[in-house]
């Protein structure tokens, strides 16, 4: 999800992602929905709002499927719902806000 609103990035905007999740869950039986991902702006001062928006998107998914008896079991719950956010320069903030998957390759490999 393009939570930073950058034109250079792909991804659905936070206001328009839920139909994509619904399509995957309801129409793609060979795919398993596991969570959401975002990449914050690559700048020295990361903003909490980029990651907070993804946390809000997670809440929207959980609410949207809470009463859907046919598909609610297809939505991961608790720590099984992946929030992939945070890279080498901003992973600490992302983890603080709920990330359970970070991408820190440049910290490891340079």
**DSSP H stretches of helix in 30-73:** 48-65
Q: 3-state DSSP call for residue 23?
A: helix
**pTM given for the model:** 0.91
Quick one: pLDDT at residue 79?
A: 92
Q: pLDDT band for 21, please (50, 70, 90 cuts).
A: very high
Q: What is the pLDDT of residues 40-74, one digit of tens each?
A: 887 777 788 889 999 999 999 999 999 999 999 99
State the residue for tokens 């991804």.
11
């Amino acid at each position: 999800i393009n939570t930073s609103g950058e034109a250079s990035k792909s991804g659905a905007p936070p206001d328009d992602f839920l139909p994509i999740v619904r399509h995957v869950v309801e129409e793609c039986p060979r795919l398993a929905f596991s969570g959401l991902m975002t990449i914050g702006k690559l700048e020295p001062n990361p903003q909490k709002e980029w990651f907070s928006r993804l946390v809000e998107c997670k809440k929207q998914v959980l609410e949207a499927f809470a009463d859907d008896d046919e598909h609610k079991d297809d939505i991961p719950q608790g720590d099984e719902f992946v929030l992939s956010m945070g890279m080498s320069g901003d992973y600490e903030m992302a983890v603080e806000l709920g990330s359970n998957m970070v991408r820190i390759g440049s910290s490891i490999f340079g």
